[in-house]
Structure 1
Amino acid sequence: MFDRDKERIKRAQRTGQVDTLIGDKVVIRGDISFSGGLYLQGRVHGSISAQDPGAILTVADNGYVEGEVRAPVVVINGELRGDVHASERVELAGNARVQGNIHYKVVEMAAGAAISGRLLHLETPVALPAPEAGEALPERALLLNTATA
């Protein structure tokens, strides 16, 4: 069952399927919750969140969002003012203008894209094996960033 869902999600992401189109003359004031593919050419003043693990939000070059965005895949070529939370991938095209933090697993950024905020990588937690009875807990490694500027 889960394998079929994963395959459906991958197929939808590859095809760039668009289920909902918000045209360039549309202004929405309020939150949007969507599934599938949402292609935004207009303006949204409110948060946008995906309910589907295979959902894709595309903000076209004329698109504008003022609010938080949460979706597995976010493609931006317009303007976005707010934080972006992408559980899978963020693509920033050449005309992308983002004012806010971007939380991502994988990011792709084209020349010309601009970000006023921070890029924050989503770490996947590593599961430690459970200790057996009478066994001491394993020490946790402390990772330090020792790179110099």
Structure 2
Amino acid sequence: MGNTDKGRSGAVRAASGDAANLILKGTHLDGKLNFAAQTVVSGRISGEITCQNTLFIELGGRVEGRVQAPTIVVYGELDGTILATEFLEICTGAVVAGAVKARSVRVDQGAKLTADLSISADLPASLDPAQAAPAPAQPAPVAG
């Protein structure tokens, strides 16, 4: 079995001996999720996702919501408020959208990135709940 980037599956990564969480095709998880080990998503995840290791989103996989991990590698779709404290890789054919903060970003030819993008060595350690939605504008006082 070849290990090309596009053809590489979660099962291949798990077989390497590293601990991994596998979200298989046809699975949909929704809610506040925390993964300590490397996580491979071939299904769908919605909500608030924190991964302490590398998060892989496979071709056909979709993750949406508030997502943070040291390294995020996208072959599928990622949409939301995203924090990659080390590295974000967007591979050929992948689609990434939303508010993205990363220390380093690589976008392959043929990938789609539609985002409010911030690349900085000085990133927050985690997503601040206050960043989820902008504060409502305060009306100016009216002199009466």
TM-score > 0.5, shorter chain as reference? yes
Tell me which of 95, 109, 114 is aligned to 1:116. Answer: 114
Structure 2 residue 36 is the aligned partner of structure 1 residue 35: yes
**Taking structure 1 as reference, are residues 75 and 17 closer, same or farther at Cα in structure 2, changes over 3 Å only?**
farther
* Structure 2 unmatched ranges of 5 or more: 1-15, 124-144
User: Helix, strand or coil for the counterpart of 1:31?
Assistant: strand
Structure 2 residue 47 is the aligned partner of structure 1 residue 46: yes
**RMSD of aligned C-alpha atoms?**
1.9
* Structure 1 unmatched ranges of 5 or more: 1-14, 126-149
**When you count strand as a share of all residues, which structure comes out higher?**
2
**Taking structure 1 as reference, are residues 110 and 17 closer, same or farther at Cα in structure 2, changes over 3 Å only?**
farther
Tell me the distance in 2 between the aligned counterparts of 1:16 and 1:91: 23
1:79 aligned partner: 77
User: Helix, strand or coil for the counterpart of 1:81?
Assistant: strand
Give per-residue Cα distances to partners, 1:88-135, cap 9 Å, x unaligned.
00010012111202211111111111111122012339xxxxxxxxxx
TM-score (normalizing by structure 2): 0.69
Tell me the distance in 2 between the aligned counterparts of 1:37 and 1:63: 15
User: Helix, strand or coil for the counterpart of 1:123?
Assistant: coil
Flag the structure with larger Rg: 1
Q: Count residues in correspondence.
A: 108
Tell me which of 67, 70, 73 is aligned to 2:68. Answer: 70
Tell me the distance in 2 between the aligned counterparts of 1:109 and 1:76: 10
Deviation at 1:18, TM superposition (A): 5.0
2:21 aligned partner: 20
TM-score (normalizing by structure 1): 0.67
Asked whether the equivalents of residues 18 and 39 of structure 1 are also in contact (C-alpha less than 8 Å), the reply is: no
Deviation at 1:26, TM superposition (A): 0.3
1:46 counterpart letter in structure 2: G
Tell me the distance in 1 between the aligned counterparts of 2:88 and 2:78: 13
Tell me the distance in 2 between the aligned counterparts of 1:49 and 1:91: 17
2:31 counterpart letter in structure 1: G
Tell me the distance in 2 between the aligned counterparts of 1:119 and 1:58: 20
